[in-house]
């Protein structure tokens, strides 16, 4: 009796994880940097909040559109490769069998066994075997434009809402400092969570996101001070 494979691997999360982490990170960094930059220009508290809210909306739409277009392009490429593979399988299955055999030989099987494996896999699902082993396309790794767009937009909104919420309750004179500190803590937590989910070291994940976040806020603060509206 065959046993169903129920093992869970971290690569199963890679599609939504990449989009979600990118969206949340960009939401925190871009919104916090925008708030800090506008606050450093001596703008009013209300102006800072308007800028932050506008950045949240614009950023979420930009992330959704960018992810959708990017992943759709990847999906189009995958579908074009699969269409070509279907034609090749229909017109020259002997060559395709030899091609798959050569792939398995390259991975360490002897030629006889590789030929048998290729024959059995192609008998069951020829296109699936070539998609997976020749083209590197699998169900887990396949491009999913709508999933990527939704994940990025939603995670951006969540990420951007956090520094904006801090800005709402922060004292005007300490707004830039409080938002910066809170955002760095949030970025560190995000980096640790993403690293843990992906099976990587949390310290490294925390360090890389907080470094770039701090750099972004420092630069925008400098720009805000340089072009500040107040004398």
pLDDT in tens, 39-88: 998 889 999 999 999 999 999 999 889 888 888 888 788 888 888 888 88
SS3 readout for 18-35: HHHHHHHHHHHHHHHHHH
Distances (CA, A) of 46 to 29, 35, 53, 168: 20, 11, 11, 9
Over residues 78-128, the pLDDT tens digits come to 888 888 888 888 888 888 888 888 888 888 888 888 888 888 888 887 887
State the average pLDDT over residues 166-185. 92
pTM: 0.69
Residue with tokens 């939603």: 154
Instruction: Look at residue 157 in the predicted model and tell me its pLDDT.
Output: 94
CA 190 to chain centre: 13
5 pLDDT more than 80: no
Residue whose entry in the numeric block shows the structure tokens 């059995």: 120
């Amino acid at each position: 009796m065959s046993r169903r494979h129920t093992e869970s691997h971290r690569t199963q999360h890679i599609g939504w994880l990449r989009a979600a982490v990118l969206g949340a990170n960009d939401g925190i960094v871009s919104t916090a940097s925008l708030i800090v930059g506008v606050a450093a220009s001596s703008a009013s508290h209300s102006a800072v909040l308007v800028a932050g809210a506008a950045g949240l909306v614009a950023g979420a739409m930009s992330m959704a559109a960018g992810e959708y277009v990017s992943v759709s392009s990847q999906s189009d490429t995958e579908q074009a490769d699969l269409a070509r593979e279907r034609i090749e399988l229909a017109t020259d299955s002997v060559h395709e069998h030899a091609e798959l055999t050569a792939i398995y030989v390259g991975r360490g099987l002897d030629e006889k066994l590789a030929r048998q494996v290729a024959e059995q896999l192609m008998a069951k699902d020829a296109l699936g075997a070539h998609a997976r082993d020749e083209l590197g396309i699998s169900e887990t790794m396949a491009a999913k434009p709508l999933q990527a767009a939704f994940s990025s937009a939603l995670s951006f909104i969540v990420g951007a809402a956090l520094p904006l919420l801090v800005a709402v309750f922060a004292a005007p004179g300490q707004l830039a400092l409080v938002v910066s500190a809170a955002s760095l803590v949030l970025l560190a937590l995000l980096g640790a969570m993403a690293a843990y989910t992906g099976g990587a070291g949390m310290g490294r994940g925390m360090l890389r996101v907080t470094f770039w976040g701090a750099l972004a806020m420092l630069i925008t603060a400098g720009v805000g001070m340089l072009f500040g509206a107040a004398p």
